[in-house]
Structure 1
Amino acid sequence: PGDRVAVYAHRSAPLALALLGTLKAGAAFTILDPSYPALRLTAVLAAVAPRAFLRLEAAGALPAEVEDWLRGAGCPELVLPRSGASALPGPEGLPGEAPGVSIGPDAPAYVAFTSGSTGVPKGVVGSHRPLSHFITWHAGRFALTETDRFSLLAGLAHDPLLRDMFTPLCLGALLTVPAPEDLALPDRFARWMHQEGVTVAHLTPALGELLSEGRGVLLDALRLVFFGGDVLTRRAVERLRGLAPGCACASYYGATETPQGMGVHEVEPADRERIPLGRGIDGVQLLVLNAEEGLAGVGELGEICIRSPYLSSGYLGDEELTRERFAANPFTGAPGDRLYRTGDLGRYLPDGEVELKGRRDTQVKIRGFRVELGEIEAVLAALPGVREVAVVARDGRADRPEEGGGDLTLVAFVTASGERAPAAGDLRTHLEKRLPSYMVPAGFKVLAQLPRTSNGKIDRAALAALGSPVEEREGGMMPGTSLEKVLAGMIGEVLGIDRVGLHDNFFDLGGHSMRAVELIARLRDTFGIDVPLFHVFDVPTVAGLASVLLESPEWGQTVEELASALLQVMEPASEPMVGAAPTEAG
């Protein structure tokens, strides 16, 4: 009891075995995602200081840096073999009595990591109490039973994974696990959900949009969808209900520090476009406090605080930050009456629900993941040749309010400490070795100096308004043919950037699965053709996509002729997007 165990795993049945075994021993677990850079994994290991290391063989070999860390720390490793269901012991192979350990509801159950503003990931210690409370309330409120079929879709290092996994395990229900390729394409994702007969799903809004693009099936078994992790819109819910007409939808609000969902709103057809955060679940209050630490009035802007006995224990190894963010309730002053200061800004609606209105700081959400811009800045600032750094998040849908906004792209601006500025490729490589992919900016730009406000602070609004940078690549080639120029224009519009080079990688520019789906939809609307989504993943450049289209006997002549005609009409407006030369230093 009290020990911590690191679990290196992928989504699978043995992952459940590893987590349950850790809890049964009275220890707390931390899940390591094999897709994360090795340096990120070793930073987590250093913070957790695990007593043991569990590795699922099927999750792949360990990076050399992780192996070196384990040897240096003297941390024993246990490997769960790659043998599927046969690796799980039958009842006859299990002990018949409970282990001789005793833990209470406030004992640590897990450590989840989130982005930290100092350049180091921040560990949050979660106990058994809030997880047990949420699952009990969740199952009772929405009549979840052992006959339901759940899906394991949350990110491995994301605390909603616990909701995905432990809810069906507590109910005795079935938990289905997709292969990674099942989540890459909308049609395949929808077919998998249909074939598995999933009745309950937890989704981020981005994953919900991906699923909504699925065609050819009807998810008639899907009865409940719970959203969380980012802003939800009524439009997104309506699109999902086109695929699953019988499903009810609810939106959860919470943070890693407030495990699972602490606020809930059950979506109704007449809801406003941006779905509100709702009210606290049982045992939870969503409070909006003004600058004087009093309750804000209806419509008054304030900080959203979560009052509950079911908060996490605090930050691993950081008592000062724990005291700052987990404060005593100012209305009672009682030490055991805590509230968590989220940093989110919001206001009360006339019906008593809470609406999100922004942030007090530079924290943002990228596809459901919490990102502290300060962490990216700190990692970049450690690179030789960099003097100052500012990372901003630009909203690619700011000019499309009907889609709800919130489709953020990260852009990094740096100033050089010497005569020679670091190359954009070097900046990207430096981050890719240290941060998860969703934290790597889509663009980098070197400036002579960063703009300042009148009080001397970095003017982030001015940076966000600058044109999107284009990274210099070998040859600096820009689109030349009519088709290439039209494709570059489409990609630029989808990603919200000004220029797209002939060989620029769609995903390096900030693209992801949902933006790929949007690109395919634009190709369909413009050319009247159904291009399989996998082409965007296989050849994610203007040159590659143009080649695929032209080599198709079905599409080749059509797209070339249409592109030429289209360009004649719109070329003056397209010139800034597909100009002849890239800008400076990325």
Structure 2
Amino acid sequence: MAWPDADSLVTGMETQARAPFRLETLCRSFERQAAQTPDNVAIKLGDECLTYRKLDERSNQLARLLRNLNLQPDSLVAVCFERSFDLVISMLAVLKAGAGYLPIDPSYPLERISMLLADANPSAILTQEMLAGRLGQRDCGTVICVDRDRREIDEQSPDRLEEIASPDNLAYVIYTSGSTGRPKGVMVTHLNAARLFTSTAHWFNFGPSDVWTLFHSSAFDFSVWEIWGCLLSGGRLVCVPHWVARSPSDFYRLLAQDQVTVLNQTPAAFYQLVQLEESGVVELLKLRYVIFGGEALNFANLRPWFERHGDQTPQLINMYGITETTVHVTYRPVRAIDAQAETRSLIGVPIPDLKLYLLDSEMRPVANGSVGEIYVGGAGVARGYLNRAELTAERFVRDPFAAGPLNVMYRTGDLARATEDGDLEYLGRGDLQVKIRGYRIELGEIEATLADHPSVAQAVVMARRDQPGEPKLVAYIISKPSVSVSTPNLRDFLKSRLPEHMVPYAYEMLESFPLTVNGKIDRAALPAPQRVAHVEPVRASVPLEVEIANIWRKALGIEAVGIDDNFFDVGGDSFLLARVHVRMQQELQLDIPITDLFEFTTIRGLARHLNASTARQTGLADARSRAQRQRAAFGRKRPFRIGDAS
């Protein structure tokens, strides 16, 4: 469907009429599926399996024990487990008990776990005895260790419970990072989550023959898609142990051995599999779909995959999404031709029961092709943030283009623009723009350009503040297998395509990028730069160049600088350039505008400019002196003409 023009954008971008869905909870949908396929394997971990019947019964028993705590709809129960049978059983039991689950990743630092529990104040905690210590001694309800309390749980009836929660009650609360450093809990209802699977069913047609992986942390909302997408369609969910998820080779082997058909990955995690195959590790895969989410997908990085596998089996799908709008928002199949032609992240069209708007700072629709902020409305928009009424009011705003009960839209903070062929191009976070030397820079544009270099497999660009002054651009590079790439080569490549202020000053070659527990690139863990962009410096020899070099070295705090090094490439910024300007006025007695220092950014170029400027000034002074002598000699009998001075 073509993207609407600015006049019609008030209706939002929609792919088709809203898909119908059952008004029921996630646990009721699961029970219907369990009744249809009771003897099918629901969960697999290593060599152990749990059928749909057993999963249903064991979750009923645990739910009954939780019911004894007098839980109410919209109350919360924390679940803290590694990826395991107990994790899924506990999530399902919490929902059957009528509460919502609060996933706590046991690998989180103790300080963060304490912060989440203090903020959410759950009525109870489900965990294992070996993990209970990480939850500390806190007054947040009953702690049930499912292994320690197994006998009491097994004494409960496995029969179905009467439902007390409605589709409008909380299904889960997942915390996301906050720009202020304080995490915020997103409140998602059963209805928000259940409609995600019915509204996307026509694209995927998931079923009992599909094998999924539970790869992601339960505290990352991609796990919602993995767990419930699998169990509500009758598939088999393969739990991926933490150590396997951190080893691309072991995970690749698991995909082949378990004949996984539906793989959900962040781009950063999937690129590791692509590189593994490029290194020569190849096994027979049964993948039907690879679904991307969590961060921007660079299509160019998929070229080696398409060269080996084609684009039909499996189909690669890019799905832009946000926790606050229930995992996924858009759908975009990726083809081999896309990888050849595009380095951008194209995210496609919205899920049928969602509306997507591109609005300016006044919440007005932007013109076709212009950059706007993404706003999402419709049935996936969450209830808001737990205990954060002010922040909820700021981000969950009234939808001026919609009527009826679904008249709230979420302000994402992400930027995008519509392409001519009706696609959406994701441009990254609006609040990840950086300002360097007075220029506003989108880091994603530099990353996309680097990814187009024939030797670069992946690239990440950061604006770092390792020293006082303005941030400086640093590029982190993973080269393609058996290929080396030099810093000067990368810099020259970028200089031929980007303005000078967008060219990083340092380049770090890495074997892999550090990842967070959610499989995203951990930018905070990237190392400080060690290699800057210049080569062995050519030392100054001309007196003026030597004087300028000495001033530079003092301002930059470095031992040596070359006459052809760019001031901003060796650690300079606007703040330090102002110091250089003052010292040149004081120490060299030069009256030079600071704008000249921004224009002439090498010692050789600046010295030549100063010499030429001095020569021009000297020539003009001599010409004026000759003209004055001539006027005196002629007694001003005729007007002075330009030719008289020559």
- TM-score with structure 1 setting the length: 0.64
Question: Structure 1 residue 325: deviation in Å?
Answer: 1.4
Is the contact between residue 231 and residue 275 of structure 1 (CA under 8 Å) also seen in structure 2? yes
**Alignment match of 1:110 (pick from 172, 190, 195):** 172
Alignment of 1:572 with 2:536, yes or no, is yes
Q: State the distance in 2 between where 1:113 and 1:172 align.
A: 28
Q: State the distance in 2 between where 1:30 and 1:341 align.
A: 24
Q: State the distance in 1 between where 2:371 and 2:463 align.
A: 28
What is aligned with 2:355? 285
CA displacement, residues 377-403 of structure 1 (integer Å, 9 cap, x when unaligned): xxxxxxxxxxxxxxx989984661417
Q: Which amino acid aligns with 1:262?
A: V
CA displacement, residues 239-278 of structure 1 (integer Å, 9 cap, x when unaligned): 3345655210111111110112111111122223323111
TM alignment of 1:153-172, pairs within 5 A: 153-172=215-234
**Alignment match of 2:320 (pick from 226, 249, 253):** 253
Q: State the distance in 1 between where 2:177 and 2:213 align.
A: 26
Is the contact between residue 286 and residue 354 of structure 1 (CA under 8 Å) also seen in structure 2? no
TM alignment of 1:122-161, pairs within 5 A: 122-161=184-223
CA distance 1:161–1:243, shift in 2 (3 Å): farther
Structure 2: give runs of 5+ residues left out of the alignment.
Answer: 1-72, 435-441, 477-483, 492-503, 517-526, 529-533, 540-557, 561-569, 572-646
Please state whether the residue corresponding to 1:572 is helix, strand or coil. coil
CA distance 1:87–1:147, shift in 2 (3 Å): farther
Identical aligned residues as a percent: 29
Deviates more, 1:194-203 or 1:6-15: 6-15
Q: Which amino acid aligns with 1:402?
A: D
Deviates more, 1:333-342 or 1:163-172: 333-342
Is the contact between residue 252 and residue 273 of structure 2 (CA under 8 Å) also seen in structure 1? yes
Q: State the distance in 1 between where 2:117 and 2:386 align.
A: 12
CA distance 1:239–1:156, shift in 2 (3 Å): farther
**Alignment match of 2:292 (pick from 211, 214, 227):** 227
CA distance 1:253–1:499, shift in 2 (3 Å): closer
What is aligned with 1:212? 274
Alignment of 1:238 with 2:240, yes or no, is no
Q: Which amino acid aligns with 2:113?
A: L
TM alignment of 1:40-119, pairs within 5 A: 40-57=112-129, 60=131, 62-63=133-134, 66-68=135-137, 70=138, 73-81=139-147, 94-99=157-162, 101-119=163-181
CA displacement, residues 364-418 of structure 1 (integer Å, 9 cap, x when unaligned): 9xxxxxxxxxxxxxxxxxxxxxxxxxxx9899846614179984466664xxxxx
Q: Which amino acid aligns with 2:536?
A: P
Question: Structure 1 residue 4: deviation in Å?
Answer: 0.5
Question: Structure 1 residue 359: deviation in Å?
Answer: 2.9
Question: Structure 1 residue 305: deviation in Å?
Answer: 1.0
Is the contact between residue 237 and residue 249 of structure 1 (CA under 8 Å) also seen in structure 2? no
Is the contact between residue 260 and residue 285 of structure 2 (CA under 8 Å) also seen in structure 1? no
Is the contact between residue 474 and residue 505 of structure 2 (CA under 8 Å) also seen in structure 1? no
Please state whether the residue corresponding to 2:232 is helix, strand or coil. helix
Q: Which amino acid aligns with 2:81?
A: A
Q: Which amino acid aligns with 1:268?
A: R
Question: Structure 1 residue 230: deviation in Å?
Answer: 1.2
Question: Structure 1 residue 141: deviation in Å?
Answer: 2.0
TM alignment of 1:427-576, pairs within 5 A: 445-447=466-468, 450=469, 462-465=470-473, 498=506, 511-512=513-514, 572=536
CA distance 1:237–1:574, shift in 2 (3 Å): farther
The RMSD of aligned alpha carbons is 4.2
Please state whether the residue corresponding to 1:126 is helix, strand or coil. strand
Question: Structure 1 residue 181: deviation in Å?
Answer: 2.3
CA distance 1:98–1:335, shift in 2 (3 Å): closer
Alignment of 1:179 with 2:222, yes or no, is no
Q: State the distance in 1 between where 2:196 and 2:406 align.
A: 20
CA displacement, residues 344-367 of structure 1 (integer Å, 9 cap, x when unaligned): 111111232221123332489xxx
Please state whether the residue corresponding to 1:261 is helix, strand or coil. coil
CA distance 1:296–1:487, shift in 2 (3 Å): closer
Q: Which amino acid aligns with 1:96?
A: D
What is aligned with 2:261? 199
Q: State the distance in 2 between where 1:465 and 1:135 align.
A: 41
Q: Which amino acid aligns with 2:205?
A: A
CA distance 1:487–1:225, shift in 2 (3 Å): closer
Is the contact between residue 2 and residue 28 of structure 1 (CA under 8 Å) also seen in structure 2? yes
What is aligned with 2:336? 269
CA distance 1:87–1:279, shift in 2 (3 Å): farther
Please state whether the residue corresponding to 1:270 is helix, strand or coil. helix
Q: State the distance in 2 between where 1:306 and 1:405 align.
A: 33
Question: Structure 1 residue 53: deviation in Å?
Answer: 0.8
CA displacement, residues 520-540 of structure 1 (integer Å, 9 cap, x when unaligned): xxxxxxxxxxxxxxxxxxxx9
Please state whether the residue corresponding to 2:363 is helix, strand or coil. coil
Alignment of 1:7 with 2:57, yes or no, is no
Is the contact between residue 174 and residue 185 of structure 2 (CA under 8 Å) also seen in structure 1? yes
What is aligned with 2:13? none
What is aligned with 1:358? 428
Is the contact between residue 199 and residue 353 of structure 2 (CA under 8 Å) also seen in structure 1? no
Question: Structure 1 residue 23: deviation in Å?
Answer: 0.5
- TM-score with structure 2 setting the length: 0.58
Alignment of 1:402 with 2:444, yes or no, is no
**Alignment match of 1:38 (pick from 110, 126, 129):** 110
Q: State the distance in 2 between where 1:574 and 1:78 align.
A: 69
What is aligned with 1:339? 409
Q: Which amino acid aligns with 2:329?
A: M
Q: Which amino acid aligns with 2:144?
A: L
Q: State the distance in 2 between where 1:318 and 1:202 align.
A: 31
Q: Which amino acid aligns with 1:512?
A: P
Question: Structure 1 residue 6: deviation in Å?
Answer: 1.0
Q: Which amino acid aligns with 1:227?
A: F
Q: State the distance in 2 between where 1:140 and 1:192 align.
A: 28
Is the contact between residue 400 and residue 407 of structure 2 (CA under 8 Å) also seen in structure 1? no
Q: Which amino acid aligns with 1:98?
A: L
CA distance 1:405–1:313, shift in 2 (3 Å): farther
Q: State the distance in 2 between where 1:61 and 1:236 align.
A: 42
Alignment of 1:29 with 2:91, yes or no, is no
Question: Structure 1 residue 293: deviation in Å?
Answer: 2.9
Deviates more, 1:214-223 or 1:164-173: 214-223
Q: Which amino acid aligns with 1:260?
A: V
CA displacement, residues 295-345 of structure 1 (integer Å, 9 cap, x when unaligned): 222211211111212211001112222122111222346564121111111
Q: State the distance in 2 between where 1:218 and 1:406 align.
A: 23
Structure 1: give runs of 5+ residues left out of the alignment.
Answer: 365-391, 414-444, 451-461, 469-485, 515-539, 542-569
CA distance 1:56–1:498, shift in 2 (3 Å): same
Question: Structure 1 residue 197: deviation in Å?
Answer: 0.5
Question: Structure 1 residue 574: deviation in Å?
Answer: 13
Please state whether the residue corresponding to 2:286 is helix, strand or coil. coil
Is the contact between residue 222 and residue 244 of structure 1 (CA under 8 Å) also seen in structure 2? no
